[in-house]
């Protein structure tokens, strides 16, 4: 692949067929996704931000590379995935052993996007390479849940797949034109939007055109400051 921010050829063949146990094995030991790291840098740049009281949701967490990074940095995390093996692998990670207060700071849930209930409000909702696997008929409801879960001033980080991606022709995938992103993120400032297009082959030799958008977006903060709200009757 052209960037280290995309699944390796050994891994992405499994994404095509939704062989998630095969995928988890192929990506074991991977580093956190760049969109998550970029979002964390933006939070850390705010001097008033305290990661020890921050809460993130990792949607489609897989074997937990991003959840583990959030926990190491002091965040509290709700990690969800549609496949039970993902949560088993996350909970068995060696790099979580030294994490303090793990039982208090990590909650896991096996749930598909298609059966997702409204989520609690979070400082960060991260969905690394997972939302494209939401079936299109459920997309609008799921996207509504995702955006509602981001607190005012909080962030979304992750990948949306593009319409020129090879997998866009697979009927159960959700892919979008660039113009759709402006609508999807209408309540947000796009802090990072990197459109990535490249050609590759998976480990089985299947040609794959990648077309995806790497996104970090901050939700508009429309809260009325306390100093004003005290005068509003
Ligand atoms: C390509 S993997 C990405 C995993 C991880 N976030 C990462 O960056 O390595 C996609 C993840 O989405 C999960 N997933 C796929 N379809 C799903 C669905 N319909 N509902 C919930 N999770 C799903 C898979 O189990 C898998 O863990």
Q: Where are the domains of the chain?
A: 9-229
| 30 closest CA partner among 112, 74, 89 | 89
The verdict on pTM exceeding 0.75 is: yes
Ligand 1: centre distance to CA 186 (Å): 25
CA distances from 198 to 51, 208, 211 (A): 35, 8, 7
Round the CA-based radius of gyration of the chain to a whole number and report it: 18
SS3 label, residue 43: helix
| 115 closest CA partner among 149, 78, 89, 81 | 81
Torsion angles phi and psi, residue 53, rounded to 5: -115, 15
Helix (H) or strand (E) holding 58: strand 55-59
- Which CATH superfamily includes the segment(s) 9-229? Vaccinia Virus protein VP39 (3.40.50.150)
Ligand 1: centre distance to CA 81 (Å): 6
Q: What burial class does residue 79 get, using C-beta atoms within 10 Å of its C-beta: 0-12 exposed, 13-18 middle, 19+ buried?
A: buried
CA distances from 99 to 65, 73, 90, 93, 123 (A): 14, 9, 13, 11, 20
Pocket test for ligand 1, best of 36, 62, 112, 158 (most atoms within 8 A of CB): 62
Per-residue pLDDT, 201: 83
pLDDT in tens, 140-190: 999 999 999 999 999 999 999 999 999 999 999 999 999 999 999 999 999
On the question of pLDDT at 29 being above 70, the answer is: yes
Contact 210, 7 (CB under 8 A): no
**With b meaning 16 or more CB within 10 Å and e meaning fewer, what string describes 53-74?**
ebbbbbbbbbbbbbbbbbbeee
Residue nearest to atom 16 of ligand 1 (CA): 133
Ligand 1: centre distance to CA 66 (Å): 12
Q: What burial class does residue 210 get, using C-beta atoms within 10 Å of its C-beta: 0-12 exposed, 13-18 middle, 19+ buried?
A: buried
Contact 35, 192 (CB under 8 A): yes
pLDDT in tens, 52-89: 999 999 999 999 999 999 999 999 999 999 999 999 99
Ligand 1: centre distance to CA 113 (Å): 9
Closest atom of ligand 1 relative to the 27 alpha carbon: 9
Work out the pLDDT band at 223, boundaries 50, 70, 90: low
Work out the pLDDT band at 11, boundaries 50, 70, 90: confident
Q: What is the average pLDDT value for the chain, to the nearest integer?
A: 92
């Amino acid at each position: 692949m052209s960037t280290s921010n995309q699944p390796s050829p050994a891994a992405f063949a499994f994404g095509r067929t939704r062989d998630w146990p095969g995928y988890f094995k192929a990506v074991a030991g991977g580093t956190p996704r760049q969109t998550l790291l970029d979002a964390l840098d933006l939070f850390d740049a705010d001097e008033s931000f305290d990661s020890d009281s921050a809460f993130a949701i990792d949607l489609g967490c897989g074997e937990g590379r991003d959840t583990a990074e959030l926990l190491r940095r002091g965040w509290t995390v709700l990690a969800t995935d549609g496949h039970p093996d993902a949560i088993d692998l996350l909970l068995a990670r060696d790099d979580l052993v030294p994490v303090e207060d793990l039982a208090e700071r990590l909650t896991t849930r096996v749930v598909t996007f298609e059966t997702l209930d409204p989520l609690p409000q979070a400082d960060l909702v991260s969905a690394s390479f997972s939302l494209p696997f939401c079936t299109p008929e459920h997309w609008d409801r799921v996207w509504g849940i995702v955006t509602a879960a981001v607190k005012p001033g909080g962030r979304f980080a992750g990948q949306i797949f593009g319409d020129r991606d090879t997998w866009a022709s697979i009927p159960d995938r959700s892919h979008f034109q660039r113009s759709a992103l402006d609508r999807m993120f209408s309540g947000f400032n796009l802090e990072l939007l990197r459109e990535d297009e490249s050609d590759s082959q998976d480990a089985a030799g299947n040609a794959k055109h990648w077309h995806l958008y790497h996104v970090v977006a901050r939700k508009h903060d429309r809260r009325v400051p306390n100093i004003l709200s005290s005068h509003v009757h």
